[in-house]
A and B are shown apart, each in its own frame.
Chain A
């Protein structure tokens, strides 16, 4: 392991411990690490957008004679006119174009993905217990959000099954969330453990 790597990994280990100190209470070490992340992220994002959007899609296209790109470039420039009271009306053309395209592209695929495919996945033959459960619990959960009829008597039972279905879903989500959060902690613990080994190996030659 090179000395340079030890230093960089050491910095990462130090920042990890700085963040962990927040578990006790807010302190200057945590604030330093938090603001460092925010600053680095903002700088990185700005340069990334400059290179991947402006350089690639504006400068490069114009330099290589792809003049069709002048249309989106002008629409993009039009967006910036919102900062001028006198010329802000120009931005409406850009926004209208953007909303029109977005809506036209999104509505059909959203309907297909989130409505049609999901409904068709619920219209299934009762050939297995899980298929029966899917249909029953989907109907009960949907009924829970049906407010035009008072949830009394038999409707109350259906509504209750609906809320229990939702609770099971939330429980599964919570369990997986715990797993995810612990995974973040474990990854840092493994990193610190490996770093201690690296340092020990470096010192030991």
Chain B
């Protein structure tokens, strides 16, 4: 067996080990990597920036702990940005394992700005079947959520006095890790036409650029890189920017493996031919 043949049959655990070692380096020797911003993320930042005190936005924390690595930084950055401008934030969770996690994030940031539940923000909680929930919220919040997450009647909340449904908010931002994003596009923007932006996981990112181009969403935050961009724009740094040095090194190693394996593939193919 030649060197190239051995390379082509390398045990995948060596690859894991290399990635593992590389990922630990920035933890021991911290360094920073500059992050450039893109138009699709800037649009969401500009939207929140354009909100005035007392304006309403709907932030859908539509993910669960399995994808918090990518979506948590977006949640923290957007909530910090919105609360710092005294924007009223209405939130709900359309992911079944997400409500408790979403409530923790929301109250954590709200407490930093002295915001009160029911007055400056509200957490409506969880309802199953995202499509039906979105359609219902497009008509009336109180029908969908008679009570908020804490069991308080939604019609008694101070924050809900000025609005009735999703068409009354300035815009909707959904941070999601599954087909909830499709439901927001179809049953939210498609049915009611309100401005919609999405924050999605890296895996989903490439699939949603077409909606950006068609104007069905006005902004897109794709994965951890998008989250880091929002952090750069808003100045609220969490794990998004912290992750970028790790990402840079890991991607470098993966690129190296791809190049080496391709060289190995072509070299062994050439040898067989000769």
Cβ contact of B13, chosen from A23, A121, A134, A190, cutoff 8 A: A23
B76 contacts partner chain A, Cβ-Cβ < 8 Å = no
Cβ contact of B223, chosen from A49, A113, A179, cutoff 8 A: A179
Q: Contacts A48-B99, A52-B127, A109-B187 given; indicate if A177 touches B203 (C-beta within 8 A).
A: yes
Which of the candidate stretches A28-36, A84-92, A142-150, A180-188 sits at the interface with the other chain? A180-188
Tell whether, in the assembled complex, residue B147 and residue A56 are in contact, meaning their CB atoms are under 8 Å apart.
yes
CB contacts (< 8 Å) of B81 on chain A: these are none
Number of interface residues of A (CB under 8 A): 42
Cα–Cα, bound, A173→B204 (Å):
8
Cα–Cα, bound, A117→B193 (Å):
12
CB contacts (< 8 Å) of A169 on chain B: these are 206
Tell whether, in the assembled complex, residue B225 and residue A179 are in contact, meaning their CB atoms are under 8 Å apart.
yes
Tell whether, in the assembled complex, residue A134 and residue B186 are in contact, meaning their CB atoms are under 8 Å apart.
no
Tell whether, in the assembled complex, residue A186 and residue B97 are in contact, meaning their CB atoms are under 8 Å apart.
no
CB distance from A46 to the nearest CB of B (A): 11
Tell whether, in the assembled complex, residue A187 and residue B225 are in contact, meaning their CB atoms are under 8 Å apart.
no
Tell whether, in the assembled complex, residue A113 and residue B69 are in contact, meaning their CB atoms are under 8 Å apart.
no
Instruction: Bin the interface of chain B by size.
Output: 35 or more
Q: Contacts A53-B128, A110-B186, A179-B251 given; indicate if A189 touches B68 (C-beta within 8 A).
A: no
How many residue pairs between the two chains, A and B, have CB atoms under 8 Å in the bound complex? 126
> Which chain A residues in 9-55 approach chain B with CB under 8 Å?
23-24, 41, 44-45, 48-49, 52-53
CB distance from B188 to the nearest CB of A (A): 10
Look across to chain A and name the residue whose beta carbon is closest to the beta carbon of B28. A193
Q: Contacts A109-B190, A109-B191, A179-B247 given; indicate if A189 touches B97 (C-beta within 8 A).
A: no
Cα–Cα, bound, A19→B224 (Å):
22
B38 contacts partner chain A, Cβ-Cβ < 8 Å = no
Tell whether, in the assembled complex, residue A180 and residue B223 are in contact, meaning their CB atoms are under 8 Å apart.
yes
Cα–Cα, bound, A177→B254 (Å):
12
A172 contacts partner chain B, Cβ-Cβ < 8 Å = yes
A5 contacts partner chain B, Cβ-Cβ < 8 Å = no
Cβ contact of B69, chosen from A49, A184, A193, cutoff 8 A: A184
Q: Contacts A121-B210, A180-B201 given; indicate if A186 touches B127 (C-beta within 8 A).
A: no
Which of the candidate stretches B46-54, B114-122, B163-171, B211-219 sits at the interface with the other chain? B211-219
CB contacts (< 8 Å) of B210 on chain A: these are 118, 121
CB contacts (< 8 Å) of B27 on chain A: these are 189-190, 193
> Which chain B residues in 244-274 approach chain A with CB under 8 Å?
246-247, 250-251, 254
CB contacts (< 8 Å) of A113 on chain B: these are 185-186, 189-190, 216
CB distance from B13 to the nearest CB of A (A): 6
Tell whether, in the assembled complex, residue B243 and residue A190 are in contact, meaning their CB atoms are under 8 Å apart.
yes
Look across to chain A and name the residue whose beta carbon is closest to the beta carbon of B222. A176
> Which A positions have Cβ atoms within 8 angstroms of B?
23-24, 41, 44-45, 48-49, 52-53, 56, 60, 105-106, 109-110, 112-114, 117-118, 120-121, 134, 169, 172-173, 176-190, 193
> Which B positions have Cβ atoms within 8 angstroms of A?
13, 16, 19-20, 23-24, 27, 67-70, 72, 96-97, 99, 125-128, 135, 146-147, 185-187, 189-191, 201-207, 210, 213-216, 222-225, 239, 242-243, 246-247, 250-251, 254
Q: Which 3 A-B pairs have the closest CB atoms?
A: A180-B202, A187-B69, A121-B214
